[in-house]
Amino acid sequence: IRPHGAYEELCRGTRGPPRPPAPGLRCTYHTNGSPLLLLQPAKRETLGLRPFVALYHDFVSDAEAEAIKALAGPRLQRSVVASGEQQQAVEYRISKSAWLKDTADPAVAALERRIAAVTGLDVRAPYAEYLQVVNYGLGGHYEPHFDHATSRKSPLYRMNSGNRIATVMVYVSAPGVPPARCGAPPWGRPRPRLCFGGQNAALFWWNLRRSGEGDGATLHGACPVLAGDKWVANKWIHEHGQEFRRPCGTRPED
């Protein structure tokens, strides 16, 4: 068992959210210069600036969420993680997952178009992985980890498109998880909500700094499911293809 004091306290609700309120954190309608978002801008809440973390509210419709679960359901297999040069099942990630191509269904294609629009990134293969749909049953969890590779030997590099520069994680559903079970209400909010996200929202963050170095502040995990089950969908975007969309920088802190 690897000790993770902060993770366990956050999951138990005995520790508040990691970030205090800060100037520059706000809710805005975000079109990102994209025609796709002109008539229906994304509802973006910035949760952090260093590293940049944003939550897009109402990112998928209920119908899209249901379609994604229905497509993934029959394809679910025990989730694995990169370990050395291999992929293997580990006790610190208990869930099942399935990979969906954008050709699997119009709902997947629509979701990918929206991800491309809000992030401004190229999410076509091989610049991003297929959509990974994850299902956690009772007790399912994912202990603190990085999404990016921390070793050059990682199987993540087999796509030959670099490391995972960013993550978009859609909260497809987390029914039966009362907010109280997810810890204290976050800062600055009159109403309680699910720990991070909430049904149909999407969380975005950069895993890598502009220098290409992994950002240690992106350590994150999924608390054990206490009631019902939980579904998320991950879109991992790689470095290649983003050279002009997120140019690299020379300051190590960026």
Interface residue list for ligand AKG (CB under 6 A): 134, 142, 147, 169, 220, 222, 232, 234
**Residue whose CB is less far from ligand AKG, 10 or 134:** 134
Q: Which residue, among 184, 171, 146, has the nearest Cα to 10 in the 3D structure? A: 184
Q: Is 241 helix (H, G, I), strand (E, B) or coil?
A: coil
Using CB under 5 A, pick the residue from 147, 170, 171, 246 that binds Fe ion.
147
Question: Pick from Fe ion, ligand AKG, none: which does 134 bind, CB < 5 to 8 A by kind?
Answer: ligand AKG
Decide: is 129 part of the binding site for Fe ion (CB under 5 A). Answer: no
**Nearest-approach distance from CB 231 to ligand AKG, in angstroms:** 9
**Nearest-approach distance from CB 235 to Fe ion, in angstroms:** 12
Asked if residues 126 and 238 have their Cβ atoms less than 8 Å apart, the reply is yes
**Nearest-approach distance from CB 145 to Fe ion, in angstroms:** 6
**Residue whose CB is less far from Fe ion, 30 or 148:** 148
Question: Pick from ligand AKG, Fe ion, none: which does 112 bind, CB < 5 to 8 A by kind?
Answer: none
Which H helix or E strand runs over 117? helix 106-119
Question: Pick from ligand AKG, Fe ion, none: which does 133 bind, CB < 5 to 8 A by kind?
Answer: none
The amino acid occupying position 170 is V
Q: Is 15 helix (H, G, I), strand (E, B) or coil?
A: coil
Question: Pick from Fe ion, ligand AKG, none: which does 98 bind, CB < 5 to 8 A by kind?
Answer: none
d(CA 165, CA 192): 31
Adjacent-strand bridge partners of 203: 55, 169
**Residue whose CB is less far from Fe ion, 147 or 215:** 147
**Residue whose CB is less far from Fe ion, 44 or 164:** 164
Q: Which stretch binds Fe ion (CB under 5 A): 35-43, 88-96, 128-136, 139-147?
A: 139-147
d(CA 206, CA 215): 8
Question: Pick from ligand AKG, Fe ion, none: which does 42 bind, CB < 5 to 8 A by kind?
Answer: none
**Nearest-approach distance from CB 233 to ligand AKG, in angstroms:** 9
Asked if residues 121 and 245 have their Cβ atoms less than 8 Å apart, the reply is yes
The DSSP annotation for 28-80 comes to EEE-TT-HHHHSS-EEEEEEEETTEEEEEET-S-HHHHHHHHHHHGGG-EE--
Positions in the binding site for Fe ion (CB under 5 A): 147
